[in-house]
Amino acid sequence: MTVGTNGKQALDLIRSAQPDLVISDVIMPVMNGYDLSREIRKNPAYNHIPVILLTSLTDTQDVALALESGSDSFLTKPFNPDYLEQQIRQILSPEHQMRTRDTDKNSVAVSFEGTVYHIASDRGQMFECLLTAYQVAIMKQREVVQAEEKLRKTNENLSDLNTVISICNASLSAQEMFERLVQTIVEVLDFEFGAIYLFNDDRTSACLQYYYELIPTYDSYVDLLGRLDPNAPHNVDVLVNGKCGFFDLTRDSPYGEREKLIFEAMGAKAYVILPVKSAEQILGAIVLISTSEHSFATNETGLLESVGREVGSAVKRLLLQRRIETANDEIRLLNEDLEKRVVERTKDLQNALTQIEKSLHEKEVMLREIHHRVKNNLQIIISLLNLQSRQFSDPQVGVAISESKNRIQAISMVHERLFISRDIENIDLGPYIRSLATNLFSFYVIPERQVQFQMTLENITTTIDTAVPLGLVINELIANSLKHAFPGERTGQITIAGTDTCGMLEIRVSDNGIGMRPVARVEEVKTLGLKLVDILIQQLNGTVEFLSPPGTTVVLRIPKKEV
């Protein structure tokens, strides 16, 4: 085969080596295809060479020019390669070569649409050229019909896909969506059976979620295909590799003998298994069976693949929604359990407070009784000493009795003042807290575990009804540090500092212990003692804040009452 870039170069090639056939474009530089054909027909040395013209022009004038130029065949571009090959075979056939070309006859003038064409082709050549043009016109018409049919089928596919998409986007439960999807796919896409499968949690199998039938389905089918094994040879491509499977059951056998018998009993002729995937994650599969043959043309397989993707997106959304609902249920149960535990703990605390109040009341009664007995006994002792002082004449004995009486009176006075101080309105926090801390230290501190204590609460005065619960709170915090903050041979440091500004008391109790898990509120601490701290501070309309590490610092903020 020899190729030229224009008509003039083609003539030079023909003169050097005559070809069996010339195929030429019409539109070329230097010399077009019509002129090339005319030049070939003019020269007796090679006017017998057949000429086929190719052009993208579609006007009827092109046919007339082809006849006028003496070409043998005329095709429009784009052309069908098979038809071009057919034309070449026909022109080069012995029958065509035996036809005598009449080159001596005069041209015939033909007028068409105001233009006169001088056609010198013989009748056979004219017939072949016109027949070719007619065949090309028929082929173009068929292509138009096929394109229209393809467009119609595409529109149908788009409509079917939109139906599936509308279901996928609907607000439905998982079961409702599975039912509507499978039914729609079966009825719209011309199948008689459909089923949807989803992977179980450990992805060892895909379990049947729902199936829909327009033909009788035997229980043996569900028993056999109620689960799909992803590792089985016929399922690996779909459930592992994410590829679609399209099978003509008249020729293909995707499963074993038992499955084949079931398909035959159903009258199945086509079988489809589609991966249900979202992005690259395979979630399950859709199985479709038809009792009629399916060609599985590109448009059908493309539609089915799109259906698998859309269903995959919907299933992914459903699974996420299911996880959200499960998480919400777990949170609700946790909240209910927490609320129940809080109620129970609150009841326990209320009972504890009731017991504390009862105990305090009993202690108050006991303390008053002890106070009166001590006071009466001291008075009796003083009276006895007065009586004894009259019975002895020795001055030294009198002095000793007098000194003893004075000491007992001093003891009585101190006891009376201590008892009376319980009922005063205002109290200095410094001495009050220090006395509590001193007693507490004597109880908890042992020689092997030294603790340094420092307090700066001077000149902070408050009412007795604030000082007492605040003293209990600080007492509890010091005890908590002494018990828990200094393990082993660690030397501890406890500091109590307070400020009184803008009507607000702020007291910090700090230690250099091992610290505790950072918390923002005392509700997050589980010890009963610290719960009691929170309750007492709330009664004072105050707040508690924990700062840790280093060590632990508890910040108490309490509105100050007027002194």
Q: Over 50: is that where the pLDDT of 414 sits? A: no
Quick one: residue 372, left, alpha or beta (phi over 0 = left, psi -120 to 50 = alpha)? alpha
Q: How far apart are CA 220 and CA 211, in angstroms?
A: 14
Total-model pTM: 0.41
> What would the 3-class secondary structure string for 156-223 be?
HHHHHHHHHHHHHCCCCCHHHHHHHHHHHHHHHCCCCEEEEEEECCCCCCEEEEEEEECCCCCHHHHH
Q: Read off the pLDDT band of 154 (50, 70, 90).
A: low
Other CB atoms within 10 Å distance of the CB of residue 216: 11
The more confidently predicted of residues 446 and 239 is 239
> What is the per-residue pLDDT for 2?
79
Burial class (CB in 10 A: 0-12, 13-18, 19+), 535: middle
Q: Read off the pLDDT band of 89 (50, 70, 90).
A: confident
pLDDT in tens, 310-355: 888 888 888 888 888 888 888 889 888 888 988 888 888 888 888 8
Cβ–Cβ < 8 Å for 4, 13: yes
Q: Read off the pLDDT band of 413 (50, 70, 90).
A: very low
Q: How far apart are CA 438 and CA 446, in angstroms?
A: 13
Beta bridge partners of 274: 286
Q: Over 60: is that where the pLDDT of 101 sits? A: no
The more confidently predicted of residues 171 and 506 is 506
pLDDT in tens, 487-507: 666 678 888 988 888 778 899
Q: Over 50: is that where the pLDDT of 378 sits? A: yes
Across 60-64, 73-77, 99-103, 325-329, least confident range:
99-103
- Report residue 526 CA to chain centroid gap: 35
Q: Over 80: is that where the pLDDT of 126 sits? A: no
Q: How far apart are CA 122 and CA 120, in angstroms?
A: 7
Cβ–Cβ < 8 Å for 52, 94: no
Cβ–Cβ < 8 Å for 511, 492: yes
Highest mean pLDDT among 121-130, 282-291, 367-376, 430-439 belongs to: 282-291
C-alpha distances in Å from residue 145, one per residue of 138, 141, 151, 364 = 10, 6, 10, 109
pLDDT in tens, 420-478: 555 556 777 778 777 767 766 654 555 556 778 888 877 788 876 777 678 778 877 88
Burial class (CB in 10 A: 0-12, 13-18, 19+), 241: exposed
Mean pLDDT score, 76-81: 74
Q: What rounded mean pLDDT belongs to the chain?
A: 76
The more confidently predicted of residues 309 and 127 is 309
Burial class (CB in 10 A: 0-12, 13-18, 19+), 146: exposed
> What is the per-residue pLDDT for 108?
62
Mean pLDDT score, 179-206: 87
- Which are the contacts of 163, defined by CB distance < 8 A and separation ≥ 6? 184, 188
Other CB atoms within 10 Å distance of the CB of residue 139: 15
Highest mean pLDDT among 122-126, 239-243, 404-408, 447-451 belongs to: 239-243
Q: Tokens 């199936």 sit at which residue? A: 211
Beta bridge partners of 552: 511
- Which are the contacts of 491, defined by CB distance < 8 A and separation ≥ 6? 450, 451, 452
Q: How far apart are CA 220 and CA 262, in angstroms?
A: 8
The residue length of the chain stands at 563
Measured over the CA atoms of residue 365, residue 366, residue 367 and residue 369, the dihedral's sign is positive
> What is the per-residue pLDDT for 327?
86
Q: Read off the pLDDT band of 406 (50, 70, 90).
A: low
Strands 245-248 and 227-228: unpaired
Radius of gyration of the chain (CA): 54
> What is the per-residue pLDDT for 418?
46
> What is the per-residue pLDDT for 197?
92
249-252 contact pairs (CB < 8 A, 24+): 250/293
> What is the per-residue pLDDT for 160?
67
**What tokens were used for 240?**
């592992």
Across 65-74, 91-100, 314-323, least confident range:
91-100
pLDDT in tens, 522-550: 556 556 567 778 888 888 889 988 887 77
Q: How far apart are CA 8 and CA 540, in angstroms?
A: 113
Beta bridge partners of 193: 213, 289
Q: How far apart are CA 522 and CA 527, in angstroms?
A: 10
Q: Over 70: is that where the pLDDT of 96 sits? A: no
Q: Over 60: is that where the pLDDT of 403 sits? A: no
3-state secondary structure (DSSP) of residue 362:
helix
Q: Over 80: is that where the pLDDT of 33 sits? A: yes
Tell me the percentage of the chain whose pLDDT exceeds 70. 70
Residue among 66, 83, 190, 174 nearest 135 (CA):
83
Q: Tokens 């009795």 sit at which residue? A: 401
